[in-house]
Amino acid sequence: MRFSKRLRSIRQLSTHVLAVILGVLLTVGTLQVSPSQAEPAPSSVSAASPQLIAQKSPATAAIGSSSFVTAAVNRVGPAVVRIDTERTITRRSDPFFDDPFFRRFFGNGSPQQLPPEQLRGLGSGFIIDKSGLILTNAHVVDKADKVTVRLKDGRSFEGKVQGVDEVTDLAVVKINAGADLPIAPLGSSTKVQVGDWAIAVGNPLGLDNTVTLGIISTLRRSSSVVGIGNKRLDFIQTDAAINPGNSGGPLVNAQGEVIGINTAIRGDATGIGFAIPIDKAKTVATKLERGETIAHPFIGVQMQEITPELARQFNSNPNSPIQLPEIDGVLVMQVVPNSPAATAGIRPGDVILEVDRQPITKGTQLLDIVENSRVGQQLQLKVQRGNRTQQLSIRTVQLQNPS
């Protein structure tokens, strides 16, 4: 009796294992269907079109004759360019010759000028208009004496920098190449979501036409968090590999549309890169093309977000120079001398609660309000100073060169 039950159990187990094995084989067989055996695509949609790609899972699309990455790169790749720059700098005299001890014994007849030094740089960019307009990073072309643009098809042109904005790290370069230029299709960064595919195209480390794949890791990563305090940007963060030389190249979605401009990496991290949202770049590029200066209103405070818990910790220290109000707001850490904030009477230790009746609890909120105001506009600040609340008026000015 026991033997019969054991036999039935073994048969049931064998049947189950066989079913699993068959299931695996069937699954593998389904994934390995060749294009000729698969169901034909509708005649109105090509096999590489974004419409068809959107109906496939990434795994299925990647196993076909061409993946969604291939289709995306084929769409944008021809418009991605390499940008080589040259800059001649005059080096200062050797500090040894400027030393007062040296001059006392040898006089001023020592050589004061060292031979000029040639600096070369490398970056990426992409063509946004058939007239030859190219979008790239400001740090790729800034202060360059010569800019050379090389297209994927091998053609090379001298580039002219139309405009540079260091605060957003964007620049527009123009080449004269006729009307047969490929154009990178521009998407919308407002539609980007965390987890979307991200494709970086460019010339990292001088390796031309390199493509890397990843996802969107997060959105609206502030430049202060990234560690670039002199910029005013909310970056798209991605784990697609970005290396020196990728700067200025496009970050592309699965449909082959540019959603960002690759601009920064962190030296202390692996697999983290940042891109400027394309919607921000569109606005700035239009003005740079016309040679306009980009307005960046400035008030002149260094700040830190504060909460009741942080204030209590600070106040519990017997060596604290002041007592902070135990509230949510933006603490003024330092006031820039001769700035609008200094003129308005803002002091270190003040907590900014509102700007033009808009509640403020984060530094990014204050930056956004100031950045979206006009140069010369008067802003009304509600400030907590100790136990008192004050209303202060502050007039913005243009931010000077942050570098």
Calculate the CA 354 to chain-centre distance: 29
Q: Check: CB of residue 218 under 8 Å from CB of residue 232.
A: no
State the pairing for strand pair 258-265/197-202: unpaired
Task: Copy the structure tokens of residue 352.
Answer: 């900014």
Continuous H helices in 32-111: 50-55, 58-63, 68-76, 95-98, 100-106
Q: DSSP state, 202?
A: E
Catalytic residue selected from 165, 169, 328, 350 = 169
The Cα angle at residue 61 between residues 59 and 64, in degrees rounded to 5: 110
Catalytic residue selected from 84, 124, 139, 217 = 139
169 is catalytic: yes
Helix (H) or strand (E) holding 368: helix 363-371
- Tell which residue, 140, 133, 186, has the closest CA to residue 164: 140
Helix (H) or strand (E) holding 305: strand 301-306
Distance CA(380)–CA(299), nearest Å, equals 12
Task: Copy the structure tokens of residue 38.
Answer: 């698969």
Distance CA(181)–CA(185), nearest Å, equals 13
Distance CA(329)–CA(352), nearest Å, equals 6
403 is catalytic: no
Length of the chain: 403
Distance CA(78)–CA(211), nearest Å, equals 13
* Beta bridge partner(s), residue 136: 171
Neighbours of 187 (CB within 10 A): 21
Residue with tokens 């002041």: 322
* Beta bridge partner(s), residue 394: 379
Distance CA(27)–CA(30), nearest Å, equals 5
* Beta bridge partner(s), residue 390: 383
Task: Copy the structure tokens of residue 185.
Answer: 């299709």
Helix (H) or strand (E) holding 126: strand 117-129
Catalytic residue selected from 189, 247, 328, 350 = 247
139 is catalytic: yes
Q: Is 5 helix (H, G, I), strand (E, B) or coil?
A: helix
Helix (H) or strand (E) holding 344: helix 340-344
Residues noted as catalytic: 139, 169, 247
